[in-house]
A and B are shown apart, each in its own frame.
Chain A
Amino acid sequence: MMTTAVPPVAPGALPYDDAEMPLALVQAKTRRLVLRVIWTSTAFLVVAGILGLLLRLRQAEVITLGDNFWYAVMTAHGLGAFIAWAGFFLMGITFWVLMKVGLPIRSFVLPEVMYWSMVLGVIGIVLTTLLSGFGGSWVFLYPLPFNSAGQWSDMVTGVFSISVLLAGVSILAYCSAVLHTCIGPGLKAKTDTVGQRVGLTFGFGLLFPSRFKTDRGKIPYPVLPFAVNAVDMFLATLPFALLLVFQVIESVNNGFSINVLLAGNLLWAFGHPVVYLLLFPAAATYYYLIPRYAGRELVAGKAVAVAWLIALTMNLFVWAHHLYMNYPDGENVQQTLGTIMQPTTYALVLPSALSLYSIAATIWRSDFQWNVASKFLIAGIVSWLVAGLQGIINATAAFQETLHNTLWVVGHFHNMAFLNMGLLIFGAMYAFLPELMGRGWWNERLGSWHLWGTVIGAYGWVTCQMIQGLEGAPRRWAVLPEQYLTLTHISVGFLALLVAAQLVFAYNLWTTLRKSPFDDPGAAMQGGTQR
């Protein structure tokens, strides 16, 4: 029986289609900015992907790489894939989704700072790793950057730290731009004060509708994860920036040093929340796109608002689960942090669990529109569930003696980052690029090949890594012990399929850019294709 609580939208009017659009000039500038980020981050993916392939080929003894070069490649791959591709892409697409829900960029200064500082930072990271040999891994666990065993100099560590700092500046600029955009007039607070705008931005309008009123009826749900992520990443980047500044100082002053445990805590105060730099904008993009394909509003209410408030607070108090195994004798603070941060990490399951419920309820018995974009999104959502279950295991201190620093962890974060956020990114490209480019995709069937090749190839590869991890295979080993070689070889077969699928995607994209004459952005929004 139909009710009116969350009505399906009228035929032809999809969720958020009623959002007020900004002036054509703002739309055009936003389109150019977002496209620039998409192309740049995709170029970073190409480089990071090739580097990742080299890593696994070396482990499979298919190719040879110098030991330190392997670790330098590992460092560049980690930062390149996580921050420069996935993080950067989602930072860019944020502004497109926000505009589509009626919150256009209010100033382009901060997004431009975001873009250029990320590009400069990535260039610095590439130079210091691949050319100057910095191979401290993407977490560069202090004091390793200053104990390279003769492989790189302290000065290289300093330049590397400045480069990562630039990526941090990019994240800070992004967070500031998102908050500046969200806490603006777009949410149409009835009483237009900063307090009302802030309240609406963080979901208080859903919890207390009589106190936080808006002329829009209900605030667009994608705003919640975007805004929560902006606050959390702003706060989480600051201690990390402090660590990087310390490293820059030490690179020019050998007498300076910091406590090892403090450095670890500063690192992970950023190093875990940065996962949500990807996951929360991904959740927001699901919130935007899934209702459009399902043809009804997101099925959500107060519970989702509560979940995002939990995320807002708990996200900043989970870092110590990366340090579960650092519990020195007599150092009770670290042990206490570990005890506290298992339940706080569990609390972060709620935003995911409730989001997955909302998305499932939105899809349930809907007249769902199946196309390449929506199939990618569905595959990403299922991966969100699968990788989330792995995350609960990883958050459990008692399991760490078996899992910590094994390939299980590597398999998990590739499952989450590539098979959830990565598939969302491809889905967003299939969904948004037709409108952004003004032309539809060249070939739907090639898109399906891309999907199946990516899903089968990537799941085969990460499953091999996770089994190896459960068998005790150490992570970050250029050469794995003999006992793990069979699964490494099998995973290379799956990686070959994954690479082939990306080549199909590249061909489809290239052909689309060169040949597709389709020029109907409105229709193309739903993933229009030529053939």
Chain B
Amino acid sequence: MMTSLGTGIAVGYLIFVALGLIISFAVLWSTRAGRRDKGQGVDVERAEKAEPWWGVFVVGLLAILLGLTIWRAPWFTENDDPKDVQVQVTGIQFGFLVQPTQVKAGEDVEFNVTSKDVNHAMGLYNPQGQMIMNVEAIPGYTISRSYRFTEPGTYEIRCLEFCGYKHHEMIYPAFQVTA
């Protein structure tokens, strides 16, 4: 099951793919007319002159997307406000050291994620199996990421950065969120 962000990405992507396919089909369909008039029925100079405007249109769309999203980059969404609970997560081939292992729903929790050997990543999955957090674990560095749990239950941490031959077994199965 997808998260709301995942669903939003999928819907937006499918809309643009559909538009692209419609345009592609129209271009290919036009060759039927091209066959009848031996390719002479088109003003190529006009098409050439319009190309920069297409470029401007694309730049405009990208600028809008940039303006809407750059402020949501993970490093901009963290703040220095004190959190209710600090959870230390340390990756080590092939497991996670998690302390404490239990928090309460409604608390502001800050995960401090690092690694003792190679690069790992903490993928946090809710009881429905949706990934709700994705933080790299880099040896020698710490990344802090905050989250407020609303739903009690058993959460799972999976390694999302390839770390060796037991990478797929690097799972912490029981991070508890109590009511």
Contact = CB atoms under 8 A, between A and B. Distances in A.
Interface of A: 1-8, 67-68, 71, 135, 137, 141, 143-144, 147-149, 151, 259-261, 294-296, 299-304, 306-307, 324-329, 331, 335, 338-339, 342-343, 346, 349-350, 353-354, 357-358, 360-361, 363-368, 370, 378, 381-382, 385-386, 389-390, 392-393, 396-406, 467, 470-472, 474-481, 483
A5 B27 contact: no
A397 B69 contact: yes
B34 A366 contact: yes
Nearest to B130: A472
Contacts of B9: 393, 399, 402-403, 470
B22 to A, nearest CB: 11
Contacts of B119: 141, 144, 260
A396 B70 CA distance: 7
Contacts of B168: 67, 474, 477-480
Interface in B1-36: 1-3, 5-7, 9-10, 12-13, 16-17, 20-21, 23-24, 27-28, 30-31, 33-35
A3 B44 contact: yes
Nearest to A327: B75
B131 A406 contact: yes
Contacts of B81: none
Nearest to A343: B66
Interface in B71-126: 71-75, 93-94, 117-119, 121, 123, 125
A147 B93 contact: yes
B134 A2 contact: no
A328 B143 contact: yes
A306 B54 CA distance: 13
Given A358-B51, A477-B168, A326 B136 contact: yes
Contacts of B3: 402, 472
A5 B45 contact: yes
Most-contacted residue by chain A among B93, B131, B144 (CB, 10 A):
B131
Given A326-B138, A354-B55, A366 B31 contact: yes
B146 interface: no
B174 interface: no
Contacts of B143: 326-329
Contacts, number: 271
B6 A402 contact: yes
B39 A474 contact: no
B28 to A, nearest CB: 7
Contact of B20 (A71, A143, A389, A467): A389
A364 B27 contact: yes
B44 A296 contact: yes
Interface string B28-58: 1011011101111111111111011011001
Contacts of B69: 342, 396-399
B164 A144 contact: yes
Contacts of A137: 162
Given A149-B164, A393-B13, A350 B59 contact: yes
Given A405-B160, A470-B9, A361 B39 contact: no
Contact of B166 (A67, A300, A476): A67
B86 to A, nearest CB: 13
Given A143-B139, A350-B59, A477 B118 contact: no
A472 B125 contact: yes
Given A327-B143, A397-B74, A363 B27 contact: yes
A389 B23 CA distance: 14
Interface centre among B58, B66, B69 (most CB of A within 10 A): B58
A346 to B, nearest CB: 4
Contacts of B39: 8, 294-296, 365-367
B75 A363 contact: no
A382 B40 CA distance: 25
Nearest to A354: B55
Given A147-B93, A402-B6, A342 B70 contact: yes
B62 A346 contact: yes
A465 B130 CA distance: 16
Contact of B66 (A294, A342, A480): A342
B133 interface: yes
Contacts of B118: 141, 143-144, 147
21 contacts: A3-B44, A148-B164, A148-B165, A295-B39, A306-B55, A326-B143, A335-B75, A354-B58, A367-B35, A385-B20, A386-B20, A389-B13, A393-B9, A393-B12, A398-B73, A405-B121, A472-B123, A472-B129, A474-B158, A475-B162, A476-B167
Select the residue from A307, A331, A405, A479 with max chain B CB neighbours within 10 A: A405
Contacts of B45: 3-6
B141 A260 contact: yes
Nearest to A474: B160
B31 A402 contact: no
Contacts of B28: 363, 378
A404 B123 CA distance: 10
B48 to A, nearest CB: 5
B160 A404 contact: yes
Nearest to B57: A353
Contacts of A363: 27-28, 30-31
A335 B141 CA distance: 14
Given A382-B21, A405-B121, A476-B162, A299 B138 contact: no
B94 A149 contact: yes
A61 B59 CA distance: 45
Contact of B37 (A365, A386, A479): A365
B154 interface: no
B64 to A, nearest CB: 11
Given A397-B74, A400-B74, A470-B9, A386 B17 contact: yes
A339 B70 contact: yes
Given A296-B44, A400-B134, A342 B139 contact: no
Contacts of B1: 471
Of A360, A366, A393, A405, most B-chain CB atoms within 10 Å: A366
